[in-house]
């Protein structure tokens, strides 16, 4: 089945799948994974991902990073705050089985991805594509009396600008990255016209902020001199619309639950596409999954979220990042498209041991593949939320998992937690005061 799915992929996706098929010897379908204890889950992940004993030991300890590493990552360190890392199973991305680590504190996020991925395994899982690793750095020029002429002067020096950019980061250039394009805009503002130059650069497997920021800082003073203007900001844009990732999948009608469920999901999507109040929550659900993988790999969650929400407004209004439609066979097709400026080198991704281990669990060795996996997770998360909303409602699944947290907040410990959680789910009321009353009766 997976070989047939891979043959349906675009050429670039087939090449990426071939590179990783050999590394993944096991299926990401691990029935009963959520029922295993800690040691059992680690053993299963180690078998699939080929983790070292050191990596397994790090995860088994459930401890934070050292003070020395934390003190280098951020300032004024006083401690660590641990975030649970779960593993999403059942994922097939571009014909390749993947286990996906997700760092999140919210109940039902990992479970939703697992269930969604299981339901589309029969159609080959998620098919993905990307637009390439291009980032934009902006240079702001103000106080220019002739902005049209200034724009021309900058464009005329394209060759010189390319030379400066590539000389700023020769390692990146040697790896095949570097300057790719130049754009110059005239922006009307409350303070008058501004000339905004965009440096479009290929950052390869890096997220690229440091590289493009350095290029902009080198060129800002030069552009101010060429245009007789004043240069203020020299900084990347997190609206990385040259670094877009896409994912699509098909769910068979029988696996969804029939036409009524399918049509309810289509209607829920149409609501989000038309109404920004709904779209905000719709897209937040997408980011539940995306941000969890981004955080687990040591990437910048804030940059990804800012870019995603800005991209959702690119048509002039805020709308859904996903699309849903019915196939000719009557099945449900869904897709997602959003900017994902992700890297696998530099920063916390290279320094944090759990970030490196997360990449190993996913069997990811380049940024392009990571973008594809993250986009697939975002679509899976959205499908799970939309289906829940269109059927039983979000509370039944979410609060069932959340009941244990409420039980702990009420003071339950050990086996008491499961007993109280089960009672609240049966009562269909998950509240702390209810949990406290149940706990008092249980202990009495």
Catalytic residue list contains 47 = no
Catalytic residue from among 282, 352, 398, 402: 398
Q: How many CB atoms lie within 10 A of CB 270?
A: 13
Q: Provide the terminal-to-terminal Cα distance of the chain, rounded to the nearest Å.
A: 56
CA distance 174 to 180: 14
Catalytic residue among 38, 230, 284, 428: 284
Is residue 106 part of the annotated active site? The answer reads: yes
Within 10 Å of residue 21's Cβ, how many Cβ atoms? 17
Catalytic residue among 106, 162, 181, 331: 106
Q: Which of 300, 366, 368, 416 is an active site residue?
A: 300
C-alpha distance from residue 61 to each of 42, 64, 162, 351 (Å):
11, 9, 49, 19
Residue 129, strand partner residues: 246
CA distances for 81 relative to 58, 64, 363, angstroms: 16, 7, 27
CB 380 within 8 A of CB 119: no
Q: Which residue has the tokens 């006083």?
A: 78
Q: Is 398 a catalytic residue?
A: yes
Catalytic residues: 106, 284, 300, 398
């Amino acid at each position: 089945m997976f070989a047939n799915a891979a043959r349906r992929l675009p050429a670039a996706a087939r090449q990426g799948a071939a590179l990783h098929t050999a590394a993944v010897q096991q299926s990401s379908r691990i029935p009963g994974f959520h029922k295993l204890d800690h040691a059992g889950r680690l053993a299963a992940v180690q078998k699939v991902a080929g983790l070292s004993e050191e990596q397994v030991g790090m995860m088994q300890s459930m401890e934070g990073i050292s003070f020395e590493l934390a003190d280098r990552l951020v300032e004024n360190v006083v401690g660590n705050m641990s975030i649970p890392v779960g593993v999403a199973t059942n994922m097939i991305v571009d014909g390749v089985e993947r286990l996906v680590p997700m760092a999140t504190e919210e109940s039902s996020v990992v479970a939703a991805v697992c269930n969604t991925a299981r339901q589309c395994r029969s159609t080959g899982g998620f098919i993905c594509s990307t637009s390439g690793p291009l980032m934009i750095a902006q240079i702001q020029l103000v106080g220019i009396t002739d902005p049209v002429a200034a724009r021309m002067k900058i464009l005329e020096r394209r060759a010189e600008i390319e030379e400066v950019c590539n000389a700023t980061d020769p390692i990146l250039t040697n790896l095949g990255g570097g300057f790719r394009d130049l754009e110059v805009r005239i922006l009307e503002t409350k303070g008058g016209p501004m000339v905004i130059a965009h440096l479009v650069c290929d950052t390869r497997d890096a997220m690229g902020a440091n590289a493009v920021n350095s290029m902009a800082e080198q060129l800002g003073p030069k552009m101010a001199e060429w245009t007789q203007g004043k240069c203020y900001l020299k900084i990347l844009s997190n609206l990385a619309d040259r670094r877009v990732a896409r994912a699509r999948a098909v769910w068979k009608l029988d696996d969804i639950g029939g036409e009524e469920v399918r049509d309810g999901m289509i209607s829920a999507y149409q609501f989000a596409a038309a109404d920004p109040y709904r779209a905000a929550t719709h897209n937040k659900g997408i980011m539940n999954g995306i941000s969890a993988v981004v955080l687990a790999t040591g990437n910048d969650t804030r940059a990804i979220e800012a870019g995603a929400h800005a991209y959702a407004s690119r048509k002039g209004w805020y709308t859904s990042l996903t699309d849903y439609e019915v196939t000719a066979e009557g099945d449900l097709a869904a897709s997602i498209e959003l900017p994902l400026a992700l890297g696998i080198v530099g920063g916390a991704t290279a320094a944090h041991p759990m970030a490196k281990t997360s990449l190993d669990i996913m069997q990811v060795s380049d940024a392009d593949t990571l973008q594809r996996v993250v986009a697939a997770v975002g679509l899976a998360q959205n499908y799970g939320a939309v289906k829940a909303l269109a059927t039983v409602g979000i509370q039944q699944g979410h609060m069932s998992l959340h009941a244990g947290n409420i039980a702990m907040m009420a003071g339950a410990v050990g086996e008491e937690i499961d007993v109280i959680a089960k009672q609240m789910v049966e009562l269909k009321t998950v509240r702390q005061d209810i949990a406290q009353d149940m706990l008092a009766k249980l202990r009495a």
